[in-house]
Structure 1
Amino acid sequence: MTALDGQDDLEGQFAQWRHYVQRRPELRQSDADELEDHLRDSVDELIAVGLRPDEAFLVAVKRMGGLDDLSREFAREHSERLWKQLVLTGEADSAAADDRSRRDVYAMIICVAGAAMSVKLPALFGMSFEDDPGFYGRNFSLFALPWLAAFLAWRRRAARPVIGILVGLFALGAVAANVYSLADDSQSAVLTGIHLPIALWFAVGLAYVADDLRSTRRRMDFIRFTGEWFVYLSLIAAGGGVLMSLVFGTFKAIGVNPEDFVVQWLLPCGGVSAVVVGGWLVEAKQSVVENMAPVLARLFTPLVTLVMLAFLVAFGVTSAGIDVEREALILFDLLLVVVLGLLLYSISARDPLASPGLFDKLQVALVVSALAIDVLVMVEITGRITEYGTTPNKAAALGENIILLANLTWSAWLVLGFVRRRTPFAALESWQTNYLPVYAVWAWVVALVFPPVFGYL
């Protein structure tokens, strides 16, 4: 290998290291630049004493220590910076940052107000939660997610073509939710209620990556955003439950029944507002709590693996078939989605330069056991369809299992290759982010195509 080739390889290693450093929210750009300067100086010194460039790079990285330790060190040295991010009125690092934070708050408030007005707009036409629960169930995501997408698109300065696509996607969602004549208890109505929010969430993802549509890193950032948003939304929901309990308790103590206010105003307006506020919190506070979802993934990965292995053992011992009724189908699909989520968030938090370890081997067991369950469910569904014919539920479940099977099969191959040191970790991350549009397309197919195909059953 020539000196020029060695230098090119070295710069590629620096680029990969820099990419990972820039994903650490604790480290600002100036911190990353400082670390890279130290790393380059150390590599130059090692090359000068006779090491090859690739050897010098690995030794220098080891000397610097893990980035988790570096992040904690920077957090300790700049603790004031972190505390400023926890308070709304904290003094920013610069006037520009302070102005941007203030504008984000104003934009969030406008979007929250828009979501609250949207969810109350049908009441002007005589629609109430008691009389039209199916309408509100199908349209809830349309009341909230367009405003979250609007906030993210504004924050990313989305181009006009992207904004046009977003408007078109949400308009298409409104068609899927309201044009078809579906009974509230029909299978198609339930499937639309499940898949339309998923399809629209990927529209939110388009708004999130609007500043760099082709970037794998931005797509992985959206996956992290999704996990952190869900955590925030759960916390807000728990706080909202406490608030409603207090409202009921205190007002009833003075002889006032607040049920109408809670049902007609607090619950719907608070629900759609929480969707937007959760997104704003992730954007504003991610450098303090950005690792919550990955930490939960590492905590639950061994537990879910044990549960699935126990299920496979029980299935083999009892030789009982799998009940593929609607509730069971939803449960098994949810299990596979949980497995995929655990894999995604473990990937998002992993140091791509670290060697494979015990947790990576545990992920192989997790994915392989999920694949085995997926195959069992698919065999049962196919058998039932062959014997009794298909239904919207069975067709949707079969399609989702095929999509998940394809993803998990290749993921298992990539994880196994990484554990055996034959596949770079970046290949696994790239596969997951490039596969995201497949889920979006399927969700739209179920919401738009299934109802007329199955006679609106």
Structure 2
Amino acid sequence: MSVNSDNDLEGQIAEWRAYTQRRRELHHTDAEELEDHLRSRITELTEAGLRADEAFLIAVKRMGSLDELSREFAREHSERLWKQLVLPGEPEAPAAARTRRELPVMVLCAVVAALSIKAPALFGLDLASGDHGAFYARNVSLFALPALAAYFAWQRRVGLRVIGVLAALFVLGAVAANAYPLADDSQTLVLTAIHLPLALWLVVGVAYAGGDWRSDRRRMDFIRFTGEWLIYFALIGLGGGVLTAFTVGTFQAIGIDAEGFIQSWLLPCGATAAVIVAAWLVEAKQSVIENMAPVLTRVFTPLFAAALLAFLVAIVWTNNGIDVERDALILFDLLLVVVLGLLLYAISARDLTARPGLFDRLQLALVVSALIIDALVLLAITGRITEWGFSPNKAAALGENVILLTNLAWSAWLFLGFVRGRMPFARLEQWQTRYVIVYAVWAWTVVLTFPLVFDFA
């Protein structure tokens, strides 16, 4: 099968998938199962000697005899032959109502996560005392993320082998966070506290994908989920802040000080439970309302593009260099991560078959601006290392900016090819989903090796 036919097939499947995701009555897992059926039929037919386009036509027709969804898809897009093929015949009965078992399992996982953050207090590690901040900084991701991975493992019905891999990775993270003798004021402690949540979040991604992490489509689904989860988690946090304020005020009105309860129980337990609740909300509501991350991307892409261009103009105008102190490095890295997030969520909601437009050119300008800024930051970091030598923070910043520079550079090249009409958009999506593996490898490298390389400094 040629590269062009592969891209054409993926474009047709992407359009079919986009339609299924817009159906309110179709649950996310149901849509995944339908697509798995479609892909398996296409594979069978291509292995039997058919071309990809022929296999897709026949597979969709057979899907039409199995599910009413394909019939609706064909009626709504009847201008194409392959969509008309599923129209003949009588429609089948509608699918059964979606199961509600997710709610009690979600509640159970949320309770486990909430109680887990209080478990260290049984061994004298009380969060409220403030004397064990380093312990909780290292382990914060180990309280909620195992429960979240367990929820997705149950929901996706993963096998024992995948469960074993997930458990082993969480145990590895726990050992790395607690076995190394990291001083409370060490740089490697801070790096572990930053990178371990990222490493374990990508472990959650393996559970979310049902163990099929090699699938570009499932990795993109997890990227979509991550953006929506962040939004829901922030909204829950805002609501929790209002609840906390009302709780303190109302109890003070009757002479009771509730701040101790809030600091010891409400805030830590609520925050860890919210990790699970936000994930459940994303899964439960994604087929009912439009995803918010791509909508926000449309709003903020031109704003960030203008801000970065203004920053580059200011650098040229003033001839000032970039400060490479730790706080400034963190700020620039967060800026680059935001740019990549805007790129990812624009990709996740885009029709792969649509022609390039003004928004695509704005994204290209955003990526190129971020690429130039990243190159300037790298030059500043390199100069600082040459002058003062390596430290854990500088080494981490150097590695992360090289990784981001590589991603941005190739993304800009692919985007330019797409805007000029010389490259399919699907190649940009594949590049981004496959590059997630690089982030995972780097996060685990920092957590597992940096304390040893820099002697726990």
Q: Secondary structure at the match of 2:213?
A: coil
- Tell me by how many angstroms 1:255 deviates: 1.2
Q: Give 1:284's aligned residue.
A: 284
Q: Give, in angstroms, the shift of residue 402 of structure 1.
A: 0.5
CA contact (8 A) 2:229 2:282 kept: yes
Aligned length: 404
Q: Report the equivalent of 1:37.
A: 74
CA contact (8 A) 2:301 2:342 kept: yes
**1:268 matched to which residue of 2?**
268
Partner Cα separation in structure 1 for residue 11 and residue 218 of structure 2: 20
Task: Please give the alpha-carbon distance, in whole angstroms, between the structure 1 residues aligned to 2:321 and 2:72.
Answer: 57
- Map of 1:146-161 to 2, 5 A cutoff? 146-161=146-161
Question: How far apart are 1:448 and its partner, in Å?
Answer: 1.3
Per-residue CA distance 1:49-87 (angstroms, 9 max, x = gap): xxxx9xxx9xx9xxxxxxxxxxxxxxxxxxxxxxxxxxx
Q: What are the ranges of 5 or more consecutive residues in structure 1 without an aligned counterpart?
A: 1-6, 45-52, 61-92
Match of 1:455 in 2: 455
Which residues in structure 2 correspond to 1:347-426 (within 5 Å)?
Answer: 347-426=347-426
State the 1:381 CA deviation. Answer: 0.3
Residue 198 (structure 2) aligns with: 198
How far 1:365 moved relative to its partner?
Answer: 0.4
Aligned in 2, Cα 1:142/1:355: closer, same or farther, shift over 3 Å? Answer: same
TM-score of the two chains, using structure 2 as the length reference: 0.84
| Cα shift at 1:186 | 1.7
The secondary structure found in structure 1 opposite 2:118 is helix
Shift of 1:11: 7.0
| 1: CA distance, partners of 2:251 / 2:361 | 55
- Which among 103, 106, 112 is matched to residue 105 of structure 1? 103
**1:25 positional shift:** 5.0
Alignment of 1:42-57 (within 5 A): 42-44=79-81
Q: Give the distance between the partners of 2:209 and 2:181, measured in 1 at CA.
A: 35
Structure 1 pair 156/283, CA: closer, same or farther in 2 (3 Å)?
same
Give, in whole Å, the separation in 2 of the partners of 1:13 and 1:323: 44
Contact 2:21 2:287 in 1 (8 A): no
Distance 1:266 1:126 in 2: 19
Cα-to-partner distance string for 1:343-389 (whole Å, 9 max, x where unaligned): 00000111111110000001110000000000000000001101110
Opposite residue 107 of structure 2, the aligned amino acid is I
Identical counterparts, % of pairs: 60
Change (3 A) 1:216 1:9: closer
Whole-angstrom distance in 2 between the partners of 1:277 and 1:31: 32
- Contact conserved, 1:418 with 1:425, CA < 8 A, in 2? yes
* Long gaps (5+) in structure 2: 32-66, 85-93
Partner residue, 1:247? 247
Q: CA deviation at 1:280?
A: 0.8
1:301-334 superposed Cα distances (whole Å, 9 cap, x missing partner): 0111111111111111111121111101100100
Whether the 8 Å CA contact 2:180–2:456 is kept in 1: the answer is: yes
- Which residue of the partner structure matches residue 231 of structure 2? 231
Q: Note the C-alpha offset of 1:288.
A: 2.6
* Preserved CA contact (<8 Å) 1:182 1:456: yes
Residue in 2 that maps onto 1:435 = 435
- Equivalent pair of 1:25/1:286 in contact (CA under 8 Å): no
* Distance in 2, Cα, partners of 1:320 & 1:430: 38
C-alpha distance 230-289 of structure 1, shift in aligned 2 (>3 A): farther
SS at match of 1:42: coil
Q: Which has the higher helix share?
A: 1
CA contact (8 A) 2:11 2:426 kept: no
Displacement of 1:106:
1.2
Paired residue for 1:24? Answer: 22
Q: Distance in 2 between matches of 1:253 and 1:444?
A: 49
Rounded Cα–Cα distance in structure 2 between residues aligned with 1:382 and 1:25: 51
> Matched residues in 1 for 2:68 and 2:421: separation?
31
Equivalent residue for 2:293? Answer: 293
Deviation at 1:14, TM superposition (A): 4.2
Pairwise CA distance, 1:212: 3.5
Aligned CA RMSD, in angstroms, stands at: 2.3
Q: Distance in 2 between matches of 1:163 and 1:237?
A: 30
Instruction: Say if 2:110 and 2:273, in contact at 8 Å, map to a contact too.
Output: yes
Q: Contact conserved, 1:111 with 1:276, CA < 8 A, in 2?
A: yes
Q: Displacement, 1:456? A: 1.1
Q: Give the secondary structure class of the aligned counterpart of 1:354.
A: coil
User: 258-267 or 29-38, which moves further after superposition?
Assistant: 29-38
Which residue of structure 2 aligns with residue 174 of structure 1? 174
Kept in 2, the 8 Å contact 1:191–1:447? The answer is: yes
What is the TM-score of this pair, normalised by structure 1?
Answer: 0.84
Match of 1:47 in 2: none
Question: Are the aligned partners of 1:228 and 1:290 in contact in 2 as well (CA < 8 Å)?
Answer: no
Deviation for aligned residue 1:13: 6.1
